[in-house]
Amino acid sequence: MEKRYNSYVGYFKERYGERLQKIVIDAGFSCPNRDGSLGTGGCTYCDNAAFHPAYSSPDKSIKWQIEEGIEFHRRRYRTASRYLAYFQPYSNTHAPLSDLKRLYGEALSHPDVAGIVIGTRPDCVDDEKLDYLAGLSRDKIVIIEYGIESVYDRTLKRINRCHTYGQSVESIRKSTERGLMTGAHFIFGLPGESKEEMLAVAHEVNKLPVHSAKFHQLQIIKGTPMEKEFREHPEDFIQFSLEEYIDFFVDFLELLRPDIYIERFAGEVPPRFIKESPWGSVRNTELLRLLEKRLEERGTRQSARFTL
């Protein structure tokens, strides 16, 4: 059955003829809003331990993490035969170019790795790094995934991102001008943003020359500054029930440009990192089923209300 939205998994099957499974790599990077380069404390919502698997650990070599990741995913996804090394935790271009060449090179030397995905911030790339990645992309799959989180500078300041939305726009432009595949990551439910403002994000995303996008609902992680902020000012947060979020995201999809691939539309955090799970123990496969069901019920699809 044809999907009513552009599936990122479907893109890889169509483009490369098979599933390409990501293996999360923790290469020991930090972030400029953590290490004092721009600020300290990191993003107020962030605890990276909540977002990557146990096999991914900076005390292991890149090769070791890849081997354990392949074993993990071969048990879970028996159809996967080639992999993408996903440099995910923290900002994975926040280092000298010589370090990046060594780390990315180690990952790409593995015979089962078809390419790399680099999670980073828009203020952690420069022309020299982008030129290097563009060169790599002539022989390997290279994808840059930019954490944008919000298009509103007041929100970015509130959550201690220490960069502006304008910097995101510029870095994405420079990346795509070099022929690099780019993705963007956004969070719905950040403090101070209304539902109408969240829907308006679609119009901003439509202007970006991105290949894919990843969306998450905000989850309040134990021990983070945002947990304290939520406790003290719950009125500043919009919390979606599962049904409300599904309907919200259908509304959002209707506004989104038709060629953008959707990598994720919701996130999962292990229960030990959150005090309560308002959606219960629903997994990503069930979330996808619910989204497709709601799109069918409403007789709609991605870009149904898209306008230039």
Round to whole Å and give the CA distance between 207 and 201. Answer: 10
Distances, alpha carbon 80 to alpha carbons 56, 110, 111, 274, 297, in Å: 19, 15, 14, 31, 32
Q: Which helix (H) or strand (E) holds 146?
A: strand 141-149
Helix, strand, coil percentages, rounded to 5, for the chain: 40, 15, 45
Round to whole Å and give the CA distance between 29 and 282. Answer: 31
Contact, 149 vs 168, CB < 8 A? Answer: no
With a cut of 90, say whether residue 77 has pLDDT above it. no
What pLDDT does 15 receive? 87
For 142-189, the pLDDT digits (tens) are 999 999 999 999 999 999 999 999 999 999 999 999 999 999 999 999
Quick one: pLDDT band at residue 60, thresholds 50, 70, 90? very high
What pLDDT does 114 receive? 95
Architecture of domain 8-298: Alpha-Beta Barrel (3.20)
What pLDDT does 285 receive? 87
What is the per-residue burial (b if ≥16 Cβ within 10 Å, else e) of 124-146?
bbeeebbebbeebbeeebbbbbb
**For residue 110, what are its two tokens?**
């593995």
| Total-model pTM | 0.94
For 33-54, the pLDDT digits (tens) are 999 999 999 999 998 665 667 7
**For residue 43, what are its two tokens?**
């993003």
What pLDDT does 78 receive? 64
For 227-284, the pLDDT digits (tens) are 999 999 999 999 999 999 999 999 999 999 999 999 999 987 766 677 666 787 788 8
Domain ranges in the chain are 8-298
Count other C-beta atoms under 10 Å from residue 302's C-beta.
Answer: 24
What pLDDT does 276 receive? 66
Q: What long-range pairs does 227-235 form, CB within 8 A, spacing at least 24?
A: 227/275, 229/44, 229/191, 230/191, 233/191
Average model confidence (pLDDT) across the chain? 92
Overall average pLDDT of the 204-233 stretch = 95
What pLDDT does 308 receive? 77
Round to whole Å and give the CA distance between 84 and 107. Answer: 9
Closest by CA to 63, choosing from 104, 99, 110, is 110
